């Protein structure tokens, strides 16, 4: 079991305009992502929504597989801009690394 | 797959020190213009962003890297210790074949040719032509990107540049969309093929266009490339995934996972090659990655320049 | 010869078709110009629950060879009528057996306003039965 | 609920004028009509031999299967074709011998 | 029954020969070849001419055309015919045309029979069999026509007064709309207040209308309308009669607590507008022409232990939460406080008492499962969540749902807004519902859920409050259901006649449905239903009478022996009953029809051992005559020779 | 643009209803039953709207025609109702407290008074055109009765596909064909109006991911209605590419709703239920077929809808919680559906013989430039008081019913139509009595 922490979305907003709050988890992004297979990028967005930052950290290398091709953003039915959420998460970790 | 943290560290370090992601001195990268007599001033300034020029180096680096991708110890090796000597800077420059560099220069020359034939008046100032920093942006090194972008923008602004013509999608996107947003610098930016007025008759020949993600989707320029080709009499066969819904060539994954890049590239080539037409694209990365995946792919500039010959 | 005996020879089929469902359903078959045996005669009824058992037996006695009750089924506008009708049909079957009449000569079915296929099936099936059985013959013993 | 008080059969001149006015439509409709007549004929000839499924009709007439199905559906609507038994995922269709006047393009 | 005028001007009993000798006119249509291409129309005409009772037989290219109709009207006016048979297309197309023509010529439109020889003959049969069948069908029509008696529609005098049961938004809307049509209306409400379920709400989803404002306005209009009499704290205690004339008895309800301090007409938060109480004492009786049921719903009461309800003070229902939220003050730290208790986070659990599934959910004390969706709770929950997030941004909100059903206009947008405001949505499967657990941690409660959006992972939500989105149940109106004989569906809500054909009507003519007594709906939907019901009731009452089809059961008093078989078979209670009558000084029981209640199905006719009851216009004798004519060879006997020569291809012959 | 049109005639009514679908007909019937003379103006050649084109309707599964036809016939025969079909509304405005509607009736090229609906012309016509009434799956003639249960049962000639060969005129028994018929314009003046202009299905072109009409055997739900209808193009459910009996059918929910990428962010309200209904009908027609519904949320909110949904699940219809992301042509005419399996595995592809797009609703009419009534952000008519008087538009004396003011199912539409008739009647009454209407109070 993991505890949910919605405050993470607020923190994340410092790194980008879109932190994924709008996503209603339809799965379009995961299905169109050229990285094929798995739940990416919805997985990351969902973890962000529930504040499972440890999960994102554990799997953070996944973020850099993203091609930034934008197909998920183009097809997102909720205008949740999944591509931008991934970029925002990249920025969060890149900033952390830079500090360390 | 490589450790993003290390890749970012190398690239950011290189860009900070040399303004170039691979740390190769610009003089060794950007020499194509020397054989062209280009005016320094014009209505607009040609900015290549060095992407075409850098691709041969990327190619070398990744070919080399690919050998190690699956090695067990890859993940644990601190790249920064052993990669830089070989994979950046002079080392990389040394092992990159001259043929590849000549080919890259050829694309730029063809672009110049097409622009001239269209009566475009543009200037070129090699000292202002810098790498845009887009890779840092894509990798999430926002701080590094912003710092670099501001440097590049300051130089352009300092030189009084207001209007820019670009040659590749990544630089176009950076200058047109990211610079105003993050570097407080707005230029009028247009891709070179937006304003051509070539004509010709290539009736009967059909080309299959691969829209780069940035052109097809982010910048919505897929109509412009088709129009340029259409004016020359070419027909364009669109794959189901094109334009706004174009599919990635896989190239952007090169620096992180060459294997992934080639897997996606192969899929894309399969989708494009269905009807057997010649594939045309307009991005050095797409060009390189689709070629690597075994496609007969031509740069738009080659077609435009070649079209001139028979016109 | 001519028209005189044609229907007789084929045996008469009587169709009791509800005003709100089966009767417009038969019209719909007409609109589609789908042919069916001409010995089928359609009578419009508000609800077939109107007819007592003896009506059916009398019809057979008069020479009707087959009867199809085309109701609205469970969607009957008269609540409870379909149940009562279904019960009645059971009673008629019992009477038919008593009189030695093949119970296949009577059918209860639900036909809606656009049930063309079902309508045609019903009529064709009944016609096949009627042709097979010939005119109704009452069991003399039962009659007595 | 209203109608022009026009005679049903137009005068020759009026019809001529109308033909001129609708020239393009008429040309297109005539071309399409020729096309469909040819296709209908092909389907009819195939079915005159024996009943057939859509893939079979398509194969022997050279029509694309979707077009063959379209024609069969149309001919069925006008009472020229009847559906028969299911045969390995496809129904078979047969011509009905019927009043000629009911055929969809009976004339010509 | 003075107010019921079943006028059969012929005055003839259903059996036997009509007094006036039948003079039948048969009119056969060519339909421009549609009929005559396949039916030898002229041959049929000749045959018909010779039928007994037929005085004239004519054909026309288009019988429905003006000249065609004229020929019929002339024959009627001249007295040549007094019964009409038209043989043409389907009766659905032109039956009304010809009935109207007969009426215009001064005839009785019910002395008319239609033979369908296009759709049911010429379009489906060809050649000689078509002509044969047409002959037999027209003969049958003539056979029936001989036995047709003149009929007139049944008129039921209607009281221009209506009763509305229930003072919520639906009842008030219905009453106002009835009054606007000039119908005097009595509205009865069990509680002391007008406003119903709406009065308990705050800002309505998704547009934010003020519920209290709506209640105030509607109740204000109700109380000031001179045509509306409001009876609060009142119950219906007796009910009888039929459409147009229901007898109604209203009694004061047993006293329930009411706000002492409030003056009548004042709005009491959470309760509604205080209405005038029914005077204590004797019941009030009056007649009403129509009744609108607007008895509303009950909120589902969670069982003890259901999602921690009853065991924890921190578990409340959504209606309760909405009321508390209404009064909550904004705090500087942006955190919601209920009483003095800060609510750092809260979870709203959807579908509590709705969408219950046999085998998964347990039946409540009522012994029933609520298998229905309550329709309004998704939007209400999200609306509440959004209110919290916007007014108290420091409070976190979780929504635990099965399906988000923001179906209505603006609701999906509200759902998106709630997402943007960082309400966290979690989706659970009905088979593994969330658990509410008391914990000794920073938070009093923890909601544990297997979240389908997070790939089926088990998540823990620390919360200060659990809100249960309870659904709607039918209000407890067993007494009314029994008294008015109302049908109830499997979901225990009142059941309309047909959801599409007659969505606000009940099988009891003159009784209508409005609002949530029928099914869960929101205020606007209830208002639509109420207006629709008021339109139907108004159309009925405004004319002062109700006109019903004359096709109802009729008893032949000479034959009736009072067996009561018909009464047992009757499908509409009250339409038939046995009544004591004096015949020859002897008191006997005889069947009596209440035409206003008779549906005309004929269930009675089938069971009468004496054949004493029949449906006017559809009698058994008429059917028997039709069968006889279909089987008869009479029509062919005379013209047999000619018919032999009828062309096998009558298509040519006809044109 | 309207200036040069000549409005030859003028008709006066108590009420005018724009739109002859189920909403308009119900409003008209309710008004007519109250004694008001009512005009119904319909753009199509037949009244009946979308409903008459459906197969069966949820949740009762009774046939759409059986419910619509009686209402159509009742309206056609009602002494207080006059039908105007095949009409375009050029302008609708308020003038001196009355509603004035300027209308042009398109030519049918058939004399309505003479046509007897015998279809002889249709049989004689040599031109075959895809029949939109049958989803394009079969052909129709250039002249034809629009569809089997159309009212009025009168022929219409589609001149754009007519060769002017004269065959129809020569076989017409009443001489009803009028090749030179011209449009006619007239004015209807009434005291009140009900806008019941309905909806249109949104176009699948708006979602290129679903195939742009390029992938064979991807059809929309209205086309499936036709395949399921008793008078349907094939008389049964077949795959349009080659007539195969489909073994596996996919439903793609929210194919035209709840999708910002298509510019339609609202829920269309009926698609969940019609998909479930069709799935149930399909499992009756094709007992061996697998049926899969790809959905985000099942919105079974109406009376008996949830029970209907649970029955469908119990019947073995598979519900997959995922929005279908992409459709591609698969092997042998199949359709490959790409989606995210959310509980395990992630991105996945499944092949089906046939895929049905559950398209949503768009407004059927835009009042822009025609009628000064406001529309809301979703493009549907704006309503003033959705919670207490849902049929009030922003124009006094003008009311709305059904899907003109947002997606709605048939039950809600019919109920609202009754409500709109009530509001219109109140307006008529207040005009007759000189009372203050609700609206006037509102506007003050």
Q: Domain ranges in chain A? A: 7-99
> Which phi-psi region, left, alpha or beta, contains residue E273 (left: φ > 0; alpha: ψ -120 to 50)?
beta
The correct answer on CATH 3.30.70.360 for the domain covering E552-615 is no
Query: What is the average pLDDT score of chain F?
Result: 93
Reference E166, options E200, E189, E199; nearest CA is E189
Do at least 3 CB pairs under 8 Å connect B with A?
yes
Domain-located, residue F350: yes
Question: Do C91 and C53 meet the contact criterion of CB atoms below 8 Å apart?
Answer: yes
Segment B218-240, tens digit of pLDDT: 999 999 999 999 999 999 988 88
Could you tell me the residue ranges of all domains in chain C? Answer: 6-143
Looking at the structure, do residues F59 and F119 belong to the same domain, yes or no?
A: no
Q: What local confidence, expressed as pLDDT, does residue E4 receive? A: 37
Distances (CA, A) of F39 to C34, F92, F186: 36, 14, 13
- For the domain spanning D12-102, the CATH number is 1.10.10.10
Rounded distance between C-alpha atoms, residue E63 and residue C19, angstroms: 23
Q: Is F77 on the interface with E (CB under 8 A)?
A: yes
ipTM: 0.90
Question: Do F291 and F318 meet the contact criterion of CB atoms below 8 Å apart?
Answer: yes
Contacts of B244 in chain F (CB under 8 A): 208
What is the gyration radius of the CA atoms in chain C, in angstroms? 15
Q: What local confidence, expressed as pLDDT, does residue E176 receive? A: 98
Lowest mean pLDDT among C51-55, D36-40, E487-491: E487-491
Q: What local confidence, expressed as pLDDT, does residue B307 receive? A: 56
Q: What is the mean pLDDT of residues E516-521?
A: 98
Could you tell me the residue ranges of all domains in chain B? Answer: 4-194, 198-310
Nearest 5°: CA angle at F70, between E630 and E119? 35
| Token pair recorded at residue F229 | 């209808």
What is the gyration radius of the CA atoms in chain A, in angstroms? 12
Do A37 and F254 make contact, defined as CB atoms within 8 angstroms? no
CB-nearest partner of C78 from E125, E601, E645: E601
Q: What local confidence, expressed as pLDDT, does residue D68 receive? A: 97
Which of D 23-82 lie inside 8 A of C, CB atoms? Answer: 79
Could you tell me the residue ranges of all domains in chain E? Answer: 22-153+617-654, 161-296+475-545, 306-470, 552-615
Question: Do F129 and F161 meet the contact criterion of CB atoms below 8 Å apart?
Answer: yes
F-interface mutation test, from B240, B241, B274, most F Cβ less than 10 A away: B240
Please give the distance of CA E423 from its chain centroid, rounded to a whole number. 41
Rounded distance between C-alpha atoms, residue E151 and residue E617, angstroms: 8
Reference E521, options F270, F412, F384, F422; nearest CA is F412
Same topology, domains E22-153+617-654 and E552-615? Answer is: no
Q: What local confidence, expressed as pLDDT, does residue A26 receive? A: 97
3-state secondary structure C112-141: CCCCHHHHHHHHHHHHHHHHHHCCCCCCHH
Segment B265-282, tens digit of pLDDT: 999 998 887 667 889 999
- For the domain spanning E161-296+475-545, the CATH number is 3.50.50.60
Q: What local confidence, expressed as pLDDT, does residue F443 receive? A: 37
pLDDT of residue E291 exceeding 70, the answer is: yes
| Token pair recorded at residue F273 | 């239920």
CA distance C19 to chain E (A): 10
Q: Is C33 on the interface with D (CB under 8 A)?
A: yes
Segment B246-258, tens digit of pLDDT: 999 998 887 778 7
3-state secondary structure of E17: coil
Q: Which chains contact C through at least 3 pairs of Cβ atoms less than 8 Å apart?
A: D, E, F
Q: What local confidence, expressed as pLDDT, does residue A18 receive? A: 77
Q: The dihedral of CA F278, F280, F284, F289: what is its sign? A: positive
Task: Assign a CATH topology to domain C6-143.
Answer: Rossmann fold (3.40.50)
Task: Assign a CATH topology to domain B198-310.
Answer: Rossmann fold (3.40.50)
Reference F348, options A66, A59, E455, A30; nearest CA is A30
Rounded distance between C-alpha atoms, residue B135 and residue A97, angstroms: 17
| Token pair recorded at residue F429 | 């009454």
pLDDT bracket for residue F436 (50, 70, 90): very low
Residues forming a β-bridge with B66: none
Question: Do B23 and B46 meet the contact criterion of CB atoms below 8 Å apart?
Answer: no
Of E3 and A84, the one with more pLDDT = A84
Segment F183-194, tens digit of pLDDT: 999 999 999 999
Q: Is F229 on the interface with C (CB under 8 A)?
A: yes
Matching residue, tokens 């003095």: E340
Question: Do E238 and E482 meet the contact criterion of CB atoms below 8 Å apart?
Answer: no
Looking at the structure, do residues F206 and F346 belong to the same domain, yes or no?
A: yes
Going residue by residue through chain C, which has 144 residues, state the pLDDT in tens, using 9 for 90 and above: 333 444 445 799 999 999 988 998 999 899 888 899 999 999 999 999 999 999 999 999 999 999 999 998 876 778 788 889 999 999 999 999 999 999 999 999 999 887 888 999 999 999 999 999 998 988 776 655
Count structural domains, chain F.
3
A-interface mutation test, from B140, B182, B211, B263, most A Cβ less than 10 A away: B140
Nearest 5°: CA angle at C31, between C29 and C32? 65
Nearest 5°: CA angle at F260, between F259 and F263? 100
Domain-located, residue F3: no
Segment B153-209, tens digit of pLDDT: 999 999 999 999 999 999 999 999 999 999 999 999 999 999 998 888 877 788 999
Return the residue of E nearest to C27 by Cα. Answer: E119
Structural domain span for residue F130: 107-177
Do E416 and A22 make contact, defined as CB atoms within 8 angstroms? yes
pLDDT of residue F253 exceeding 90, the answer is: yes
Contacts of F35 in chain E (CB under 8 A): 539, 542-543
Looking at the structure, do residues F353 and F224 belong to the same domain, yes or no?
A: yes
| Token pair recorded at residue F190 | 């009434």
DSSP notation for E67-97: HHHHHHHHHHHTTS-SEEEEEES-HHHHHHH
* DSSP 8-state assignment for residue F244: B
**Single residue among F361, F379, F398 that ends a domain in this structure:** F361
A-interface mutation test, from F271, F347, F348, most A Cβ less than 10 A away: F347
Domain-located, residue F4: no
The domain A7-99 is placed in CATH, from the list 1.10.10.10, 3.40.50.11740, 1.20.1250.20, 1.10.1060.10, at 1.10.1060.10
Segment B67-92, tens digit of pLDDT: 666 555 455 444 444 454 445 666 77
pLDDT of residue E411 exceeding 60, the answer is: yes
Which of A 69-98 lie inside 8 A of E, CB atoms? Answer: 78
């Amino acid at each position: 079991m993991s505890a949910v922490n919605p405050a993470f979305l607020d923190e994340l907003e410092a790194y980008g305009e879109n932190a994924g709050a709008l996503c209603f988890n339809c799965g379009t992004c995961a299905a169109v992502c050229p990285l094929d297979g798995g739940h990416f990028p919805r997985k990351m967005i969902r973890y962000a929504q529930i504040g499972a930052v440890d999960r994102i950290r554990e799997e953070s290398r996944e973020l850099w597989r993203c091609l930034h091709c934008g197909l998920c953003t183009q097809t997102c039915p909720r205008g949740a801009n999944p591509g931008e959420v991934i970029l925002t998460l990249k920025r969060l970790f890149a900033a952390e690394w830079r500090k360390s | 797959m490589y450790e993003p943290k290390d890749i970012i560290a190398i690239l950011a370090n290189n860009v900070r020190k040399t303004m170039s992601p691979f740390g190769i001195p610009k003089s060794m990268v950007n020499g194509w213009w020397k054989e062209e007599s280009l005016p320094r001033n014009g209505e607009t300034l040609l900015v290549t962003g060095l992407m075409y020029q850098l691709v041969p180096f990327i190619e070398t680096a990744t070919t080399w890297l690919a050998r190690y991708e699956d090695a067990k110890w890859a993940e644990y090796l601190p790249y920064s210790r052993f990669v830089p000597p070989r994979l950046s800077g002079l080392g990389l420059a040394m092992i990159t074949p001259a043929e590849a560099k000549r080919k890259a220069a050829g694309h730029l020359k063809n672009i110049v040719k097409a622009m001239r034939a269209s009566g475009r008046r543009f200037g070129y100032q090699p000292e202002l032509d810098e790498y845009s920093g887009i890779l840092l942006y894509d990798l999430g090194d926002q701080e590094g990107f912003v710092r670099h972008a501001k440097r590049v923008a300051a130089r352009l602004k300092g030189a009084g540049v207001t209007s820019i013509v670009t040659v590749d999608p990544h630089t176009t996107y950076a200058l047109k969309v990211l610079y105003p947003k993050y570097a407080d610098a707005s230029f009028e930016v247009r891709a070179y093929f937006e304003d051509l007025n070539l004509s010709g008759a290539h009736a009967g020949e059909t080309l299959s266009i691969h829209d780069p993600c940035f052109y097809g989707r982010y910048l919505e320029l897929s109509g412009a490339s088709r129009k340029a080709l259409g004016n020359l009499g070419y027909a364009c066969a669109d794959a189901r995934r094109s334009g706004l819904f174009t599919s990635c060539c896989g190239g952007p994954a090169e620096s992180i996972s060459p294997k992934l890049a080639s897997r996606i590239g192969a899929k894309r080539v399969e989708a494009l090659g269905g009807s057997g037409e010649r594939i045309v694209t307009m991005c050095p990365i797409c060009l390189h990655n689709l070629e690597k995946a075994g496609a007969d792919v031509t740069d738009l500039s080659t077609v435009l320049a070649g079209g001139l010959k028979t016109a | 010869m001519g028209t005189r005996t044609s229907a007789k020879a084929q045996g008469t089929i009587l169709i009791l078709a509800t005003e709100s469902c089966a009767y417009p359903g038969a019209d719909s078959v007409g609109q589609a110009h789908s042919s069916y045996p001409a010995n089928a005669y359609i009578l419009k009824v508000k609800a077939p629950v109107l007819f007592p058992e003896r009506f059916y037996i009398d019809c057979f006695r008069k020479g009707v060879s087959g009867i199809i009750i085309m109701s609205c089924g469970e969607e009957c506008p008269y609540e409870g009528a379909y149940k009562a009708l279904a019960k009645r049909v059971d009673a008629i079957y019992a009477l038919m057996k008593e009189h030695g009449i093949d119970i296949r000569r009577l059918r209860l079915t639900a036909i809606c306003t656009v049930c063309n296929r079902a309508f045609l099936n019903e009529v064709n099936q009944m016609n096949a039965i009627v042709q097979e059985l010939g005119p109704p013959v009452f069991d003399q013993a039962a009659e007595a | 609920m209203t109608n022009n008080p026009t005679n049903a059969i137009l005068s020759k001149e009026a019809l001529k004028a109308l033909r001129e006015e609708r020239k393009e439509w008429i040309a297109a409709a005539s071309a399409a009509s020729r096309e469909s007549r040819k296709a209908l004929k092909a389907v009819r000839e195939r079915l005159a031999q024996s009943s057939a499924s859509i893939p079979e009709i398509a194969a022997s007439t050279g029509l694309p299967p979707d077009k063959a199905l379209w024609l069969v559906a149309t001919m069925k609507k006008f009472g020229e074709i009847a559906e028969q038994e299911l045969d390995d995922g496809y129904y078979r269709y047969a011509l009905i011998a019927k009043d000629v006047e009911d055929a969809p393009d009976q004339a010509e | 029954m003075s107010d019921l005028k079943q006028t059969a001007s012929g005055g003839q009993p259903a059996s036997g020969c009509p007094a006036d000798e039948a003079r039948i006119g048969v009119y056969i249509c060519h339909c421009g070849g549609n009929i005559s291409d396949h039916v030898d129309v002229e041959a049929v005409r000749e045959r018909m001419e010779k039928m007994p009772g037929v005085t004239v037989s004519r054909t026309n290219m288009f019988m429905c055309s003006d000249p065609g109709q004229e020929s019929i009207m002339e024959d009627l006016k001249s007295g040549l015919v007094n019964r009409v048979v038209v043989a043409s297309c389907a009766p659905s197309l032109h039956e009304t045309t010809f009935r109207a023509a007969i009426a215009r010529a001064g005839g009785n439109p019910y002395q008319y029979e239609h033979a369908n020889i296009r759709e049911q003959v010429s379009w489906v049969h060809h050649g000689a069999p078509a002509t044969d069948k047409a002959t037999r069908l027209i003969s049958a029509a003539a056979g029936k026509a001989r036995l047709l008696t003149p009929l007139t529609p049944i008129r039921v005098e209607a009281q221009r007064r209506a009763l509305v049961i229930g003072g919520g938004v639906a009842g008030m809307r219905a009453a106002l709309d009835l009054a606007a049509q000039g119908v005097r209306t009595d509205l009865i409400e069990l509680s002391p207040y007008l406003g119903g379920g709406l009065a308990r709400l705050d800002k309505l989803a998704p547009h934010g209308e003020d519920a209290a404002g709506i209640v105030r306005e509607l109740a204000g209009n109700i109380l000031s309308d001179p045509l509306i009499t409001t009876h609060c704290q009142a119950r219906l205690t007796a009910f009888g009669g039929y459409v147009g004339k229901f007898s109604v008895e209203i009694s004061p309800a047993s006293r329930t607590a009411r706000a002492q301090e409030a003056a009548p007409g004042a709005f009491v938060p959470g309760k509604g507008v205080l209405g005038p109480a029914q005077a204590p004492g004797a019941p009030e009786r009056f007649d009403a022409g129509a009744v609108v049921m607007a008895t509303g719903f009950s909120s589902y009461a969670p069982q003890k232990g259901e999602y921690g309800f009853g065991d924890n003070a921190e578990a409340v229902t959504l209606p309760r939460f909405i009321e508390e939220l209404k009064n909550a003050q904004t705090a500087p730290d942006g955190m919601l406080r209920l009483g003095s208790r800060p609510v750092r986070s809260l979870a709203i659990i959807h579908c509590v008492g709705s969408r219950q599934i046999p085998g998964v959910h347990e039946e409540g004390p009522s012994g029933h499962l609520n298998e229905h969706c309550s329709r309004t709770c998704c939007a209400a929950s999200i609306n509440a969540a959004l209110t919290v997030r916007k007014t108290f941004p420091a409070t976190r909100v979780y929504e635990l749902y099965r399906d988000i059903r923001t179906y209505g206009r603006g609701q999906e947008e509200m759902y998106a807004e709630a997402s943007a405001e960082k309400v966290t949505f979690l989706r659970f499967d009905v088979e593994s519902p969330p658990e509410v657990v008391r914990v000794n941690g920073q938070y009093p409660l923890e909601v544990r859920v297997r979240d389908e959006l997070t790939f089926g992972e088990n998540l823990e939500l620390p919360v200060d409050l659990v809100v249960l989105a309870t659904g709607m149940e039918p209000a407890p109106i067993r007494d009314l259901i029994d008294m008015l004989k109302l049908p109830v569906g499997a979901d225990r809500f009142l059941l309309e006649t047909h959801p599409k054909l007659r969505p606000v009507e009940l099988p009891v003519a003159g009784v209508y449905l409005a609002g949530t007594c029928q099914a869960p709906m929101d205020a606007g939907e209830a208002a639509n239903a109420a207006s629709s019901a008021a339109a139907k009731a108004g159309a009925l009452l405004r004319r002062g009478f109700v006109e019903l089809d004359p096709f109802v059961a009729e008893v032949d008093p000479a034959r009736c022996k009072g067996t009561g078989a018909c009464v047992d078979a009757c499908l509409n209670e009250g339409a038939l009953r046995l009544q004591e009558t004096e015949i020859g000084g002897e008191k006997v029981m005889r069947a009596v029809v209440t035409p206003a209640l008779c549906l005309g199905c004929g269930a009675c006719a089938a069971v009468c051992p004496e054949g004493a009851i029949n449906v006017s216009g559809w009698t058994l004798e008429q059917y028997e005559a039709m069968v006889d004519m279909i089987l008869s060879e009479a029509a062919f006997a005379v013209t047999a020779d000619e018919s032999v020569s009828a062309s096998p291809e009558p298509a040519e012959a006809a044109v | 643009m309207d200036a040069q049109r000549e409005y030859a005639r003028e008709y006066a009514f108590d009420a005018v209803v724009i739109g002859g679908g189920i909403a308009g007909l119900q409003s008209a019937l309710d008004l007519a039953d109250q004694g008001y003379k009512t005009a119904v103006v319909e753009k199509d050649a037949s009244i009946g709207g979308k409903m008459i084109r459906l197969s069966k309707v949820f949740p009762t599964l009774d046939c759409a025609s059986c419910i619509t036809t009686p209402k159509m016939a009742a309206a056609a025969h009602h002494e207080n109702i006059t039908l105007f079909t095949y009409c375009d509304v050029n302008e609708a405005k308020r003038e001196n407290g009355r509603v004035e509607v300027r209308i042009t009736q398109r030519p049918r090229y058939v004399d309505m008074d003479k046509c007897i609906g015998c279809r002889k012309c249709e049989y004689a016509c040599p031109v075959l055109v895809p029949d939109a009434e049958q989803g394009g799956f079969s052909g129709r003639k250039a002249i034809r009765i629009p569809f089997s249960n159309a009212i009025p049962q009168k022929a219409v000639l589609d001149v754009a596909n007519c060769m002017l060969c004269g065959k129809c005129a020569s076989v017409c028994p009443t001489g009803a064909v009028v090749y030179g018929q011209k449009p006619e314009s007239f004015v209807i003046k009434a005291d009140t109006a009900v806008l019941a202009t309905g909806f249109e299905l949104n176009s699948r072109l708006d979602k290129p991911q679903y195939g742009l009409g390029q992938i064979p055997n991807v059809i929309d739900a209205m086309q499936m209605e036709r395949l399921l209808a008793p008078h349907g193009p094939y008389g049964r459910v077949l795959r349009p590419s080659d007539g195969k009996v489909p073994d596996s059918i996919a439903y793609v929910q929210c194919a035209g709703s709840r999708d910002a990428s298509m510019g339609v962010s609202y829920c269309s309200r009926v698609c969940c239920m019609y998909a479930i209904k069709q799935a149930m009908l399909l499992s009756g027609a094709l007992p061996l077929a697998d049926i899969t519904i790809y959905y985000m949320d099942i919105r079974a909110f109406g009376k008996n809808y949830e029970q209907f949904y649970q029955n469908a699940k119990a019947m073995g219809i598979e519900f997959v919680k995922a929005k279908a992301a992409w459709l591609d042509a698969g092997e042998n005419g199949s359709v490959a559906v790409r989606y995210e399996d959310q509980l395990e595995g992630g991105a996945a592809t499944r092949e089906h013989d046939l895929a049905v797009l559950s398209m949503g609703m768009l407004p059927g009419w835009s009042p822009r430039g025609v009628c000064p009534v406001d529309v809301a952000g979703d493009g549907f008519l704006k309503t003033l008081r959705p919670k207490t008087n849902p049929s009030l538009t922003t124009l006094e004396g003008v009311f709305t019913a059904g899907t003109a003011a947002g997606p709605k199912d048939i039950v809600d539409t019919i109920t609202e139509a009754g409500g709109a008739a009530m509001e219109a009647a109140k307006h008529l009454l207040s005009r007759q009595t000189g009372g203050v209407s609700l609206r006037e109070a509102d506007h003050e």
